[in-house]
Structure formats: C-alpha cells, structure tokens
Chain A
Amino acid sequence: MDLEDDTTVLTTLKSFNSFISRTDPPQRLSEHSAGPANLHNQYKRSMELLGAAEQVKSKNRYLQLDQEKKQMELSHKRARYELERTASDSARDLEHEVDRNQDLLGRIKKLEERETEAAKNLSEQLTVNRSLRKNLDGLNRKLEERDTRLNTSNQTISSLKDEIRELKQKIQNQDSAVSSQTLENQELQEQLDLQRRKHQEVSQLCQSLQAAQTSCSEHIIKIKELERRLALQEQDFAIVKNVKSEVAKVPDLEKDVKRLREENAFLRESRENCSLLKEEVEGLRRKLERTEKAKEELVNMELEKERLAEKLRAWENIGQSTGLNIRKPEDLSREVIQIQQIEISLKEQNYTLNSRVRSVERSQAELRAELSQQRSKALDEQKKREAHDALVRRLQKRVLLLTKERDGMRAILESYDSALAPTEYSPQLSKRLKEAEEVLQRTQNHNAEMEAQLTKAQEETGTLKLQLQTVELELESLKKQQASAADSSSSGTKEEVSILRQKIEDLEAERQRLEQQNNILEMRLERHNLQGDYDPVKTRVLHFKMNPTTAAKQERQQDVEALREEVTRLGKLVRSLQDGGAAVHLQDDSGVHAASLSLPPSKEVLDLRKQMESSELRNQRLKEVFQRKIQEFRTVCYVLTGYQMDITTENQYRLTSVYAEHMDDSLLFKKGSNGSMQLMETEFSKTLGEMVALHLHHQKSIPAFLSAVTLDLFSRQTTV
C-alpha cells in the first residue's frame, strides 16, 4: 500500500518537474523574439547576443540543471524524508504491533489464568456436586429408612390389629369360658348344696348314732346295774321272804296306789285343762285387743262418717239450694256438662242470632236505601205535581185572558155589527167570528187536554204516594220482623242457617288447610329452588368443558398416578434392599442410587451386639473374680503376716496388727517417689520409739520392725 502511494507521489513529482522544465523555454523564446534593429549590430549583437545567449543558455541550462539537481536533491530529500517517515511509521506500527502482541499475550495469560480458575471452579463444582450427590444419596437413604420404618410400622399395625383380633377372640373365648364356668359354678353350687344337705343328714345321722351309742352305753350300764340288782335281789330274795309277810299288806297298798294314780291322772288332766284355759285366756286377751283396736277404728270411722254425712248434707243442700237433682258429684258433673252443652247451644243460638241480626241489619240498610230512593222519587213526583199545578194555573190564567179577549172581540164585533150594516160586513165578520170561535175551541180543547194531563199527573202522584206508603209499611213490617227476629226466629231458617254456617266454617277450615298446604308446598319449592333444583323439561344446565374443577381433578389424578408409580418404585427398591445382597445388582440396574446404599446387614449388627454383651459379661466376671481373689489375698496376708493392710489415700498404707490392743492402733507408711517406704507418725507409733530407733534407724529394715512390733504386742497379750 505505502509503496504504491510512494510511487504515485514520485510520478506526480516527476511529471510536475517535467512540466516546470517544459514551461520555461517558451517564456524565454518570447523574450528573445522582441527586437530586430540593425542587422550588424544586430548580428554582432546577435552574435554577442547569441554568445551571450549561449552563455545565458548554458548558464540557464546550468542553472536549470542546477535547479534540476536541486530539485532532484529536494525530491530525493523529500523521498528520503518520506521513506524515513514511512520507516518511522512502520517502526511505530511495528512497536504498536509488538505492544499489541504483548497485550494479546497478556490477555492470553489472563485467559489461561481464567481457564485454570474455571477448571478449579469446575473441580470445586464437581466436588460440590459430588457432596450434593452424597447428600442426595443420604437423603434418599433416609427416605428409604423412613419407608422401611413406615412399612415396619404398618406391619406392626397390622400385626397389632391381628393381635387385637386374636385378643378379641380370646376375650370371646374367655367370655364363653366364663359363662361356662359360671354354669359349672352354679352346678357345683347346686352340688355343694346337695352335699351340704347330705352332710347335714349325715351329721344328723351321726348325732343319732352318738345318741344311740350313748343310749347303748346307758343300756349296758343299766344291764350291769340290773345284774347288780339281780344279785341284790337274790340277796333281797331272802329279805323278800321276810317281806312276803308284809305283802299281805300290798293289796291295800295297791289300792292306795290305784287311788293315788287316779288322783294323779285327774291332777294331770286338771293341769292340761289349766294350760288350755291359759291358752284360751291368751286368745281372749288378743281378741280383746283386736276388739279395742276395732273400736278405735269404729270411732274413727264414725267420725269420718259424720264428716262424710256433713259433706253429703252440704251436697244435698247445694242440690236443694240450686233446685237441681244433685245427689252425687256425678250428678253435678252431669249437670255441669249439661250446662256447658246448654251454653254451647246458647252460644250457637247467639251466633245464629247475631248472624241473623247482621243479615237483618243488612236488609234494613237495603230497605233504607230503597226508602231514600222512594223518598227521592216521591220528592220528584211532588216537584212534578207542583210544576203541573203551576202549569194549570198558568193555563187557567190564559183561559181567562182568552175569554176576556173573546168577550172583548165579541163586544167589538157587536159594536161593529151595530155600527155597520150587516150586509156589507156580515160575511167577513162571520168569517172572522168563526175563526175566533175556532181559536176558542182550540184553546178550550187545549185546556181540557191540559186538565186531563193534570189529573193524570195527580193520579200518578197519588199512586206514588200509595207506593210510598206501601213501602213504608213494608219497612215497618221489616223493622218489626227484625225486632221479632231478635226475639225469636223460626226453627227452619235457624237450622238452615246453622247448616250453612257449618258449611261455611267447614269450607273456611278447608280453605285454611289448603292455604297452609299451599304455603308449605311453596316453601318446599322455594327450598328446592334454593338448593338448585330445576325443571328438566324447561331447563338445561351447561358448563364450560375445561372448567377449573375438571382441570384440577385431572391434575390430581395425574399426581396420584405419579405418586403411585413412585411408591411402587420405592417399594421395589425397599424390597430389594431388604433382600440384601441382591440389592447391589438391582441398584446397578436402576442406576438411580448407585453405590451409595450400603446399609450394614442387620445380622452383623446383631453379632457385634452379642460380642459386646459377651465381652461385658466377661468383664463383669473378671471383676468378680478379681475382687474375690483380692479378698482372699488380703485375708491370707492378714493371717500370715498378722497385719491388715489398707490403702487410705494414694501412696499411703495403713497397717493394723492382729494383736493390736485398740482398734485405732495402726502404723502409717508412705511410699516415696523412689519406691522407699517411710513410717508416718501416729499415736501408736509414738509409743514405739525404741523399736523405731533400733529397727528403722539402725537396721533400716521394715519387716524386722513389723515383726518386733508383732512380737511385742503378742507377748503383751499373752502376758495379760
């Protein structure tokens, strides 16, 4: 690019120079062609001029060349300058490029750094991702655990339900057992009762047996006695012989005995009689008491009776005072009922009468209206009559006038007749007379007519008056009827009225009932309407196909299906996990929770637990053994050395001798840091100053000191 530019510059410069060089000669030519004066001179001059010209020319040429050279130099300089400039420019460009290059390198470095950072980030992200995946896996594991727990709980629930069912069955069984046992119990009780009865019988028998035995022993005793007696009798036999003599006296004695026996019997009878009498007396006393009670009751009854009689009398008095046939309360109630019935009937009568009164009033009102009408009619008629009278009077007046006129006319005519000759005017006059008479006739006719009319009107008024009177009469009669109706009404109309009334009431009741029904039905209709019921004949219910409810339902359905699928999937997973070893393959197949699920099998846990328990047990046993051994060792030490050793505190040992005089007599040794033992001062050690000095300070032997102490104490004990 630059090079090309340079060339163009150069070419233009060259052309410019050439142009300048070209333009110069013509100018000079024009100068030289100016003056041709004298030829010689001219020639000389011309020669001179030519020489000069040539000189000039050469000078010029030189100048030109010089100029050219200068120009060339200038152009060269310029060119060089240009080149330098371009070089500097290019150098600057190069620098620029280098700078840019560095920049770019820097950028590349930055980008590399960024890349490394991004890689780091990526790795971090990957680690985070991994951790998140782990978390996810952990969560999944938890979920599964929960599922398993849920399943176990469900199982436990089902098992518990089974248990409950079993328990219920057991309860039922036990109930039945209890009932059977109660039955058995009853049977046993019955048996027990039987046994008791038997036992009683047996005991009775035993008693009887004992009684028999006692009687038997008595009998034996008696027999013995009898034997003794027999011996006595044999002894007595001799005496009897002696007595026989006295036997003669026996009959007498027997008689006496008989008598006495009789007496005895009699006395016994009398005693029995006496007891009978006593019983009788007792009975009689009781009777007496009863009778006394009865008497009291009788008195009470009498009092009551009197009261009742008074009441009865009051009732009777009421009956007498009221004049009714009241003897009993029933009568009264009957009477009351009758009275009520009468009241009811009277009320009914009253109602009927009221209705009648109302109807009569209504009719009265009607009649009144009629009466007023009739009166107005009568007034009209009177007015008419008056008008007619007026007319009649007017007509009479006119008649009078006409008659006067006629008289006047006649007088005039007569005067004419008298004054004029009858022949001249007679036809004219007669004609006029006739006319006048005709007029008269007509007026008279008219009058008669009017009179006839008048009479007619009068007759009419009379008839109207008659009508009025009749109407008034009727009214009066109606009034009377009304009055009478109030007092008494005919039974027929009464019955009819009551029937009609009944009907009306019935109809009214039915109407009310129907109205109520109507109201109820309307309310029901309203309610149905409120609930949204409609008449399918007239109405149809429409809704938008894609309404929110169906949309929501579909969504729900989909959700449920998705959840169900998930549940089945998870269930499968859980089952596979429960199967244990097979789980790994399944997990690999599913590829969802790979390698993260490694639940320790329960067997191992159980084993470990067992191991732990066994080790604990061993520990326990070892402890026991050690304790026993230590105890044994201690006792052996005590027996063999004669010292009981106790560790009071850390590194301090107390020794108590077997032969110690007091319980508190003991020696305290302290173990030093280098393992040597030192005797501590106690109350007892203070008394052993010599031995301490000899064995410990001098001989430096603790066993010797201890033996010396033992021997000392032993000798002290034995000497004592």
Chain B
Amino acid sequence: MTSTLKGITLKGSAELVAEFFSFGINSILYQRGIYPPETFTRVTHYDMTLQLTTDPKLKNYLTNVVSQLKEWLFECTVQKFVLVITCLETNEVLERWQFDIECDKSAKEISAPREKSIKTIQDEIRSVIRQVTATVTFLPLLETPCAFDLLVYTDKDLMVPDKWEESGPQIIDQSEEVRLRSFTTSIHKVNSMVAYKRTDSA
C-alpha cells in the first residue's frame, strides 16, 4: 500500500477502488437484505462500522470478482461496475447499482504518484458508503426473494478471462434513477448511482 507515501500510484489507486467495491457490495447486500443479516459480521474500516459477509460461497465469489476487477482497474480498462439485483420469481431486474469508473489512462505512462492523500480519499469513500446506507429510506422494499449479479463494463479489446462470460446490460424497464456521491483517487473517478424499478403506487 501507499499509505506511507504522500501521493498515490496507479497500483494503490486500483487497490483502493477495489477495496471500496468489496465493502460497498457487502454493505449493499446487507442493506438490501439479499442475504440474511445473521450471515454478516461487523468490521471497522474507513473509521466506520461495516458489515462483511461470512458466507463462504459468497466470500469466494467476491474475492474472485474483486481481484479480477483490481487487475482491470490497474489496466484502466473498466468503464462501469454494476451490481444487479434480480427477482428470482419473475427474473425481473429490480435494482441496479452502477459505478461509473473514469480512468486517467495517462497514469499508465507516468508512474509518478499523484498529490492526494489516502485520508481524503477514504473520507470521500466513507461518504459514498454512508449515502448507500441512506438510500434504503427511499428504495422500494424487496418483497420477493432476490439474487444479485456483478457486471463489469470493459473495453471491447479486452481478452475475456476464464470463468467470465459476456452478459446483457440487465437494464430495468421503467426505472427511476438517483445519482449518489462520487469520489476520486485522482487516477480513478468513481461516480455512483442507483436505478430501481418504478412501482405503480409511486
């Protein structure tokens, strides 16, 4: 990690963003009740308590995805990272947590660290996760059993690795979108937003 340094490198940025995704996914899964709350454990990170899953299968899946994502972040080939929540009964997409990633590709050539402290970045990340937690107040309740999937929008020229395959964008029919906060490591800028299915009553 670059925590001892003043600035931030591409590698450190990729790691920070991947870490953010790991925690963000965990807290979304906890907040939205995709997995039962008793399978989560409390962890203090970013100076706040976060929920981490203890489900071995889910853990394995998340580490797989996040490590691959970290590689892509390092290569600056990721455009979007999306968490899709699907209703199991109707196979309908109910929620889409989208994280647009703007990569500063010039960081690949210039290896000099950027002038931004880890502390400020983590502050930004914390506020994003707080907002994710707060979105529960306006998102419609998930009444049916749901499952989630993680989509990664990458550059077209990327080699598809083993265990990965192409997928549809899983767009919600008739959705409401809410933009959330964003944060930047000065190499990767992450804009977060959530789109959810508009209910008839609303």
Contacts and interface: CB of A to CB of B under 8 A. Distances in A.
Nearest to B96: A532
A484 interface: no
Contacts of A556: 88
7 contacts: A531-B96, A531-B172, A534-B80, A540-B160, A542-B165, A544-B164, A553-B91
B154 A548 contact: no
Contacts of B153: 534, 539-542
Interface string A387-421: 00000000000000000000000000000000000
A529 B96 CA distance: 12
Contacts of B175: 531
Given A527-B177, A530-B193, A532-B82, A545 B164 contact: yes
Given A543-B149, A553-B91, 9 more contacts: A531-B175, A531-B195, A534-B79, A539-B79, A541-B166, A542-B151, A542-B158, A544-B61, A544-B65
Interface string B163-175: 1111111111001
Nearest to B165: A545
B170 A532 contact: yes
A547 B150 contact: yes
A61 B123 CA distance: 118
A546 interface: yes
Contact of B177 (A531, A539, A553): A531
Given A530-B98, A530-B193, A530-B195, A543 B177 contact: no
B181 to A, nearest CB: 15
Contacts of B166: 540-542
A552 B151 contact: no
Contacts of A550: 149
Interface in A501-556: 527, 529-534, 537-553, 556
B42 interface: no
Majority SS of interface residues in chain A?
mixed
Nearest to A537: B156
B171 A533 contact: yes
B169 A534 contact: yes
Contact of A543 (B96, B100, B165, B193): B165
B9 interface: no
Contacts of B84: 549
Contacts of B121: none
Interface residues of B, number: 44
A540 B177 contact: no
B160 A542 contact: yes
A549 B65 CA distance: 14
Query: What is the size category of the interface that chain A forms with chain B?
Result: 20 to 34
Contacts of A541: 151-154, 166-169
B149 A532 contact: no
Contacts of A547: 61, 148-150
A234 to B, nearest CB: 115
Given A532-B169, A540-B156, A540-B166, A552 B88 contact: yes
B171 A531 contact: yes
A546 B156 contact: no
Closest 6 CB pairs of A and B: A552-B147, A530-B177, A549-B147, A549-B149, A543-B167, A547-B149
Contacts of A538: 155-156
B58 A548 contact: yes
A52 B169 CA distance: 137
B152 A532 contact: no
Contacts of A534: 79-80, 153, 169
A547 B29 CA distance: 14
A543 B150 contact: yes
A537 B153 CA distance: 12
A532 to B, nearest CB: 5
Contacts of B160: 540, 542
Contacts of B91: 553
Given A530-B195, A532-B169, A539-B153, A546 B179 contact: no
B151 A539 contact: no
A547 B61 CA distance: 7
Contacts of A532: 80, 82, 96, 98, 169-172, 195
B147 A553 contact: yes
Given A532-B96, A534-B169, A543 B164 contact: yes
B195 A539 contact: no
Question: Quick one: which of A541, A550, A551 has the most chain B CB within 10 A?
Answer: A541
B64 interface: yes
Given A531-B195, A532-B96, A542 B167 contact: yes
Interface string B132-156: 0000000000000101111111111
B197 to A, nearest CB: 11
Contacts of A544: 61, 64-65, 68, 150, 163-164
A545 B163 contact: yes
B86 interface: yes
Contacts of B61: 544, 546-548
A541 B169 CA distance: 7
A189 to B, nearest CB: 51
Nearest to B148: A548
A539 B151 CA distance: 12
A546 B165 CA distance: 10
Interface string B89-111: 00100001010100000000000
Contacts of B168: 541
A539 B61 CA distance: 24
Nearest to B93: A532
A538 B171 CA distance: 18
Contacts of A548: 57-58, 61, 147-149
B149 A542 contact: no
Question: Quick one: which of A529, A532, A542, A552 has the most chain B CB within 10 A?
Answer: A532
Question: Quick one: which of A531, A533, A537, A546 has the most chain B CB within 10 A?
Answer: A531
Given A530-B193, A549-B147, A543 B152 contact: yes
Contacts of B82: 532
A543 B160 CA distance: 10
Contacts of B154: 539-542
